[in-house]
A and B are shown apart, each in its own frame.
Chain A
């Protein structure tokens, strides 16, 4: 087999797998949004755009959309800022650096369910270890989930704790590619550390920053497990975003079409955001 044929065979195989595992389910999910269905066993009834108009007319949809943006922006900002900060620290030479580097990735390696349930029990208002310790030293009790704002903050906190290491590791790898001669030259020119960061490090990291922000945005906008395990969207729907609304609609409220409509709208919004993002921050201009 010629090398060209080999390339084509791999290409076809890849396309076939993509079509089977990604395109087909997406098309199927989008098609479900045009039908009225109680469950997957019944015969679907054509509903046209009814599911879309019905879901878009409900305030829970708009609440979920806003919550999704708050959650995504909140987590991305903290993950990127902290991630870059930690990467800069870990890029310095200090005793035990390799051990600290290894430890810093740990939160990312832990299963989500372990992290979330541990956090929940630690801050439990009655028997949580953190609650008991704070109470023992006379500190006031923190109401982690008692108000809509606190619940959103808690969800963001756990998400940032879990996924900042990914950003740190990526930036740390990128930092290794910045030539040290640039810093040395800048030092000779009398720049301070802040100036070097903004004029050398950040511009050099811009391509990776663009990709990281995009990836994190997509992942966080669709993130389901952390929120579901922590708050199930509560209290008062304050942490319910489109992914949770879609699931709840489809599998809780026996409205497969409505759930699929929410998922499709979410997909469309995300696609639009990605399109605009690439227009604003094109990858190939550098």
Chain B
């Protein structure tokens, strides 16, 4: 200690120095966003939720190109989708809002729009023709720019169908028989998750939509257990209970990863997903690339078909940089959009119908190779009889109510009550409907 003092460095001096350094670092950290803004005067912040390396790279390349052309810096931050709304709202609350953000749930867009936090994007969206049920306008104003559909449809093993002389099913009975026929010899008949997670909400209700089930009437009353809907929902549960017997162990916890890995490794003969499965097959098990087929969900009578809705989009927030953000979005959607879609060429299904005729988009090798699947994906949008809905988009207009039902995992629990607890289908439907009423009351 004495030696230190001799050099003029007492403990107090050291503590003072450390304190000053700490304060400096803290102040620097807190002031960072302001510095980022001040440096180039034109800086916009983009919160991305597509966390694959390719997607992040495409956005960063676009940002660099934009800065080169226009002098405006675009800072791209990436967070997983689950955390995006919290990140956006806390950044707003903290006074350093993002200028552009990614959302995958229309309820989040509606909350921000109703609070006056979003810029209408009609000037960007009005010039294109869009697929069905994707813009979710509020009083004629479109508050987001949807960049993809993630519809969920059924995948089946075409080679196993041929080997076992099975026909593509049109009814639940047919689907069940095919699943039973392919169940065994190291392969499970089907996999439709039932865990309390987003995968179940997305991949398992499709059969129910095909059967014509609806959750709400025009006045937002729950009709799931009324005289018309309850028998349909019960039929769906009876069917699902039988189908569950063809599923692998672990289905009660299966999420997106398990669904992908089970089908792409050849462990299940049927499952549901969007285009990601094809990309994963190409990457991990190319031998399966010409051995799969896709089909929509079917109803019990073979009269109706459905795909489960899924989507992603960008919003522009009302910030001091809104005008710059709008300029960037205009440039990006006109010049870089196809590049971005190509980062997940089959999973990012274009909601803009003009893209399907765009030679640049068509030129991607995977889109060329899987043309049959791509055409069917397009037909899901153009077929007027195709039912396109999901838990979170049910109801007479865009609203938070169905989103609450989605997030409360009412449907996964309904399936679990049926297959894990052995409750009667009627009882499951009643319990689910009561829970829905409870959830939307808050």
8 Å CB contact of B442 from A126, A233, A240, A255 = A255
B258, A233: Cβ atoms closer than 8 Å: no
Query: Shortest distance in angstroms between B210's beta carbon and chain A's nearest beta carbon?
Result: 25
Task: Assess whether A25 is interfacial by the CB under 8 Å rule.
Answer: no
A215-266 contacts to B, CB under 8 A, are 231-237, 240, 248-249, 251-255, 258
In the docked arrangement, what's the CA distance between A254 and B108, Å?
A: 9
CB neighbours of B241 from chain A (8 A)? none
Q: Is A191 an interface residue (CB 8 A)?
A: no
**Contacting pair A131 B249 (CB below 8 A):** yes
**Closest CB of chain A to B134's CB: distance in Å?**
22
The closest CB in chain B to the CB of A231 belongs to B253
Tell whether B384 is near chain A: CB-to-CB under 8 Å: no
Is B345 in contact with chain A by the CB < 8 A criterion? no
Nearest CB of A to B342, in Å:
30
Contact yes or no, A148 B420, CB < 8 A: yes
Instruction: Select B249's contact among A126, A232, A240, A249, beta carbons within 8 Å.
Output: A126
Residues of A within 8 A of B85 (CB): 39, 251
Partner of A251, one of B86, B114, B251, B413: B86
Contact string against A for B residues 225-244, beta-carbon threshold 8 Å, 1 for contact and 0 otherwise: 00000000000000000000
Contact assessment for A41 and B438 in the assembled complex, using a CB-CB cutoff below 8 Å: no
- Answer yes or no: B412 CB below 8 A from chain A CBs: yes
Q: How many pairs of A and B residues are in contact by the CB < 8 Å rule?
A: 117
In contact, A127 and B197 (Cβ under 8 angstroms): no
Residues of B within 8 A of A144 (CB): 250, 253
Residues of B near A124 (CB, < 8 A) are 250, 258
Measured in the bound complex, the distance between the Cα atoms of B195 and A124 in whole Å is: 13
Q: Which residues 124-155 of B sit at the A interface, judged by CB distance below 8 A?
A: none
* Residues in chain A near residue B171, CB distance under 8 A: none
> Given A40-B93, A127-B265, A255-B442, are A234 and B250 also a contact pair (CB < 8 Å)?
no
Provide the residues of chain B in CB contact with A146, threshold 8 Å.
249-250, 252, 420
In residues 241-273 of chain B, which contact A (Cβ within 8 Å)? 248-253, 258, 261-262, 265, 267-268
Contact B412 A234, beta carbon cutoff 8 Å: yes
Asked if A207 is at the interface (CB within 8 A of a chain B CB), the reply is no
Q: Chain B, 421-442, contact with A by CB distance < 8 Å: what is the 0/1 string?
A: 1000000000000010011011
Task: Check B407–A252 contact: CB distance below 8 A.
Answer: yes
Q: A123 contacts which chain B residues (CB < 8 A)?
A: 250
CA distance A211 to B250 in the complex (A): 39
Minimum CB–CB distance for B97 against chain A, Å: 9
The distance in angstroms between the C-alpha atoms of A125 and B267, with both chains bound, is 11
CB-CB under 8 A from A141, the residues of chain B are: 249
In angstroms, how far is the closest chain B Cβ from the Cβ of A175? Answer: 37
Bound CA–CA A120/B90 (angstroms): 32
Q: Chain A's nearest CB lies how many Å from the CB of B277?
A: 16
Query: If the complex has contacts A41-B89, A127-B267, A234-B195, are A254 and B250 also in contact, measured as CB distance less than 8 A?
Result: no
A253 touches B442 (CB 8 A): yes
B61 lies within 8 A of chain A by Cβ:
no
Q: What residues on A are CB-neighbors of B403 within 8 Å?
A: 254
Determine which of A58, A147, A232 lies in contact with B420 in the assembled complex, contact meaning CB atoms within 8 Å. Answer: A147
- Chain A nearest CB from B177 CB (Å) reads 22
Question: In the complex the two chains form, is A237's CB within 8 Å of B442's CB?
Answer: no
- Report if B305 contacts A (CB, 8 A): no
The answer to whether A234 and B89 touch across the interface, beta carbons within 8 angstroms, is: no
CA distance A123 to B249 in the complex (A): 10
Residues of B within 8 A of A237 (CB): 196, 413
Query: Chain B contact residues (Cβ within 8 angstroms of A): what range?
Result: 35 or more
Question: B89 contacts A39, CB within 8 Å?
Answer: yes
B58 at the interface (CB under 8 A from A): no
B89: chain A residues at CB < 8 Å are 39-41
B93-A41 in contact (CB<8A) = yes
Q: Please tell me if the beta carbons of B249 and A42 are within 8 angstroms of each other in the complex.
A: no
Known interface pairs A40-B90, A236-B416. Does A126 touch B404 (Cβ–Cβ under 8 Å)?
no
| Closest CB in chain B relative to A43 CB, distance in Å | 8
Contact of A38 among B253, B265, B400 (CB under 8 A): B400
Is B188 touching A233 in the complex (CB atoms < 8 A)? Answer: no
Q: How far is the CB of A127 from chain B (nearest CB, A)?
A: 6
Contacts of B197 in A (CB 8 A): 232, 234
A54 near B: Cβ within 8 Å?
yes
- Report chain A residues within 8 Å CB of B86: 251
Q: B112 in the interface, Cβ–Cβ < 8 Å?
A: yes
Which of A125, A144, A233 counts the most chain B CB atoms within 10 A? Answer: A125
Cβ contact within 8 Å between A235 and B117: no
Residue of A nearest to B200 (CB): A234
When distances are taken between beta carbons in the complex, the residues of chain B under 8 Å from A39 are 85, 89, 111-112, 115
Contact at B407–A145, with CB atoms within 8 Å? no
Residues of chain A within 8 A (CB-CB) of B268 are 126
**CB distance B407 to A248 under 8 Å?**
yes
B55 beta carbon closer than 8 Å to chain A:
no
B262 partner residues in chain A, CB cutoff 8 A: 126-127
Q: Which residues of A contact B93 (CB under 8 A)?
A: 40-41
Taking the complex as formed, is B373 at the interface, i.e. its CB lies under 8 A from any CB of chain A? no
Bound complex: CA A255 to CA B195 (Å): 23
Q: Does A128 contact B (CB under 8 A)?
A: yes
Tell me which residues across on chain B come within 8 A of A234, comparing CB atoms: 195-197, 252-253, 409, 412-413, 416
Chain A residues, Cβ within 8 Å of B258: 124, 126
Chain A positions 107 through 147: 1 when the CB is less than 8 Å from some CB of chain B, otherwise 0 = 00000000000001001111110010000000001011111
The A-contacting residues of B in range 69-90, CB under 8 angstroms, are 85-86, 89-90
B408 interface residue per 8 A CB criterion = yes
B107: Cβ under 8 A from any A Cβ = yes
Q: Report how far A128 CA is from B257 CA in the complex, Å.
A: 13
Least CB distance, A252 to chain B, in whole angstroms: 3
Whether A58 lies near B438 (C-beta < 8 A) is yes
Q: Is the CB of B196 within 8 A of A41?
A: no
Q: Kindly state the separation between the CA atoms of A141 and B188 in the bound complex, as whole angstroms.
A: 15
Between A and B, 30 residue pairs with Cβ closer than 8 Å are A38-B111, A38-B400, A39-B111, A40-B89, A41-B89, A41-B93, A41-B112, A54-B442, A120-B253, A125-B250, A125-B251, A126-B248, A126-B267, A127-B261, A127-B262, A145-B195, A145-B250, A146-B249, A148-B421, A232-B197, A233-B409, A234-B252, A234-B253, A236-B413, A236-B416, A252-B407, A253-B404, A253-B439, A254-B403, A254-B404
Residue numbers of B with Cβ under 8 A of A are 85-86, 89-90, 92-93, 107, 111-112, 114-115, 117, 188, 194-197, 248-253, 258, 261-262, 265, 267-268, 400, 403-404, 407-409, 412-413, 416-417, 420-421, 435, 438-439, 441-442
Complex A-B, nearest 7 residue pairs according to Cβ-Cβ distance, in ascending order? A125-B250, A125-B249, A234-B196, A252-B407, A126-B248, A236-B416, A145-B253
